[in-house]
Structure 1
Amino acid sequence: MKQLRVLFAFTILALTLGSCNNFSSGWMSSSSSATNEVLTIIGEAEWQEPHGRALFDVLNSPMAGMPQNEANFKILQIDPKNFTNTFKMARNIIEVDVSNTYSQTKMSSELNKYASGQVVLTLKSPDKESLENYLRENQSELVDYLVRKELERIGQYLEKESATPKTRIRNTFGFELSYPKGLSNITEDNNFFWATNNSGESRQDVTIFSIPYTSESVFEKDSLIAIRNRVLGKHIKGSFESQMSTSTKFAPEYRKLEIDGLFRAELRGLWEMTTDMMGGPFVMQAFVNENTNQVIFVDVLVYAPEKKKRNLMRNLEGTFYTIKVSDSEQ
């Protein structure tokens, strides 16, 4: 019965959501299923064993920077014998292969294996204990890879389907990006751009601002927090004379990364209004536009009280994968 329920749910998703046409290429059919969903191909008995539970724990690990625990992925599990063509259309697939013919545990990835716009991870291991240990030790790498591929797909979709005022952004900041539809309430000031859907239930905001680049110290964690608080506190106000601020209850996560050859520093944490009850998750990235010698800040945030926020945030984070700075100013 469980396998039938999974099959029914997946079939309905395929029919109602349709295929991801924006990722299709050539003759290959496009992948289809919900975003942030992973299909695991492993037998029911193995799924309940320690190595199966380790895989579940990896995928079910909490998404970083959220006010409440939300799993990184929705997880579906089916037996290999039920892995039919319908399931092969899934966006994210993990295949598990335990055999003593292998000398060590390895993870490999293949794009577009059964459908375009698809990621298939294969875990091969000589025994179950080795696979369990591998999964425990490499949780971050596996999750980060799947999240990055999901955000890349969202970014590709945004580039084709968003209604972002690209010309206005390019004229002000000297680069391009695309953000989700519906953020039609726009506020602009000197070197400041703010787009929001202004929803009281599932609010999404994108802000862009810039300052002159003077030193690499601008990319240090404390510097990014101070700049964020100063600029967003000035422009984003609330009731009771409140203003936007970065929450200090949980220290923001900080990292340096590179996307499409562009170095960035990133903050991920919680925002709050100083004298109000509003708050939620945010992610901010900063990078240098060498054409203008400006440091560009792109900040995305969600306000969705008593609602799940993972998909809202990931849809906004896809914006970071649409950023394009030309080699020279046009």
Structure 2
Amino acid sequence: MKSVFKISVFILLIGVWVGCEGDYRQEARGSFGEVVVLMDSTQFESETAEALRETFGGWIQTIPGKPPRFDLRFQDFTTNEQLEHYKRYRNLIVAAPINDSTNTGELVRALLNDEIEQQVREGEAFAFPLKDHWYRNQWVMLLSGQSDSTLAQQIRNSEETLTDNLINKELNRYTEEIYDRGEQVALADSIWQEEGWKIRIQHDWIKNIDTTYSENGEEQHFMTMRRPLPENDRWFWMWWKKVDDASQIDEDWINAKRDSLTKQWIRGSRDSSYVTTAHNRPHETEQFMFNDKLAFETLGIWTMTNDAMAGPFVNFTVYDDKTNRLFMLEFAQFAPKYDKRRFVRQFRSMLRTFETDSTWQTPVGEMAAEE
């Protein structure tokens, strides 16, 4: 069986090389958020399988209902026909110890060259992502180690790296899907011309508030958009102002600032109700560089004061040191009957389309008004 695997891999590599001008293969199939795990059925309850459930299948604490990161589906194969069926899936993990004598072990060794296989045997490497290996837009991860327990520990030790690798692939896919349905290019371009920033806007989002106001003697800007649908209300808001530096920004500052903004601008149907962070639930902030700018992403759950409403939010805080402007952007949703994991990843994808014009200068008319 191993010789069959090696021949098929060799043919695949030739096909990809010949088609380098354009990938005309079929697109991988499967649902967003679904991962097929190829593993021998005798190992479905192994330490490696449990480590995969804890990492890729771990609960997301920052979304109502705590859904799993991914829906894992463990599968075995005994024939090449079955293997060909599973090779078509969008997200695929192939896991087996390097000396495993099962069909999955044979497949892993067939996909690794001698040098990489030796690294696995010596404990120097264990995870190998393959991009678009059998089909277009496919994510494949090979996992192999010296033993079942060793591989399980390696997976747990690299949880964030492994899961982020797949999440980033999913975010890219969502970006393609979201804007393939249409977008408001003219609206985004007008914001770019007037305000020096933009974000790609889906075709059916409606712009609502767009205001400039003064607080503590500082000019600030606030904008909202909404996508109201039956039982699935989604909104976006954006705040920005000039600042001298970003040294004050940390998780506490972000949470306090977003709460003050939602209290002022994102109100409920009652006079006393407004959106605020559900501080009794976990929320996470990650700092990173985004398009060469300091950025923070905050994931968590919002709640409506004096009302029985809650939902997920995704917040971006970005500092443009070229124009000394601080931006805060947020998507949120109220949709009790819908899969919130899906929409949170859509929000994360859309926020990553945010751009600022680092040559931006306040228009002359506005500068005169400020003086």
TM-score bracket, shorter-length normalisation = 0.7 to 0.9
Task: Check if 1:103 corresponds to 2:122.
Answer: yes
Distance 1:265 1:328, change over 3 A: same
Q: SS at the partner of 1:240?
A: coil
Is the contact between residue 179 and residue 202 of structure 2 (CA under 8 Å) also seen in structure 1?
no
CA RMSD of aligned residues (A): 2.5
Q: SS at the partner of 1:208?
A: strand
Task: Check if 1:41 corresponds to 2:45.
Answer: no
Q: Which residue of 1 aligns with 2:367?
A: none
Q: Which runs of 5+ in 2 are unaligned?
A: 1-20, 100-117, 213-220, 362-371
Q: Which moved more, 1:272-281 or 1:257-266?
A: 257-266
2:227 to 197, 203, 210: 197
Q: Which runs of 5+ in 1 are unaligned?
A: 1-23
Task: Check if 1:183 corresponds to 2:215.
Answer: no
Distance 1:170 1:160, change over 3 A: farther
Q: Which residue of 2 aligns with 1:229?
A: 259
Counting only pairs closer than 5 Å after superposition, residues 110-121 of structure 1 correspond to structure 2 as: 110-121=130-141
Point out the structure with max Rg over C-alpha: 2
Q: Which residue of 1 aligns with 2:238?
A: 208
Q: Which amino acid aligns with 1:157?
A: E
Q: Which moved more, 1:313-322 or 1:169-178?
A: 169-178
Q: Which residue of 2 aligns with 1:167?
A: 189
For residues 220-254 of structure 1, the C-alpha deviation after alignment (integer angstroms, 9 at most, x for no partner) is 12221222122222111112211121222135312
Is the contact between residue 163 and residue 180 of structure 1 (CA under 8 Å) also seen in structure 2?
yes
**d(CA) in 1 for partners of 2:242, 2:150:** 51
Q: SS at the partner of 2:137?
A: coil
Q: SS at the partner of 1:89?
A: coil
Q: SS at the partner of 1:125?
A: coil
Q: Which residue of 1 aligns with 2:66?
A: 69
Task: Check if 1:29 corresponds to 2:49.
Answer: no
Distance 1:41 1:25, change over 3 A: farther
Task: Check if 1:301 corresponds to 2:332.
Answer: yes
Q: Which residue of 2 aligns with 1:282?
A: 313
For residues 270-294 of structure 1, the C-alpha deviation after alignment (integer angstroms, 9 at most, x for no partner) is 1122222211111111112345421
| TM-score of the superposed pair, with normalisation by structure 1 | 0.84
Q: Which residue of 1 aligns with 2:92?
A: 93
Q: Which residue of 2 aligns with 1:20?
A: none
**d(CA) in 1 for partners of 2:253, 2:226:** 25
2:175 to 155, 162, 179: 155
Q: Which amino acid aligns with 1:170?
A: W
Q: CA deviation at 1:214?
A: 2.4
Is the contact between residue 32 and residue 89 of structure 1 (CA under 8 Å) also seen in structure 2?
yes
Task: Check if 1:244 corresponds to 2:266.
Answer: no
For residues 254-308 of structure 1, the C-alpha deviation after alignment (integer angstroms, 9 at most, x for no partner) is 2202344433112221112222221111111111234542111110112122543
**d(CA) in 2 for partners of 1:51, 1:309:** 28
Q: Which amino acid aligns with 1:228?
A: R
Q: Which amino acid aligns with 1:129?
A: S
Distance 1:135 1:232, change over 3 A: same
Percentage of matched positions with identical amino acids:
19
For residues 147-176 of structure 1, the C-alpha deviation after alignment (integer angstroms, 9 at most, x for no partner) is 122112222334544424312332344223
**d(CA) in 2 for partners of 1:247, 1:270:** 6
Q: SS at the partner of 1:219?
A: coil
Distance 1:262 1:95, change over 3 A: farther
**d(CA) in 2 for partners of 1:47, 1:173:** 55
Distance 1:56 1:34, change over 3 A: same
Is the contact between residue 156 and residue 322 of structure 1 (CA under 8 Å) also seen in structure 2?
no
Distance 1:259 1:291, change over 3 A: closer
Distance 1:179 1:218, change over 3 A: farther
Distance 1:329 1:270, change over 3 A: same
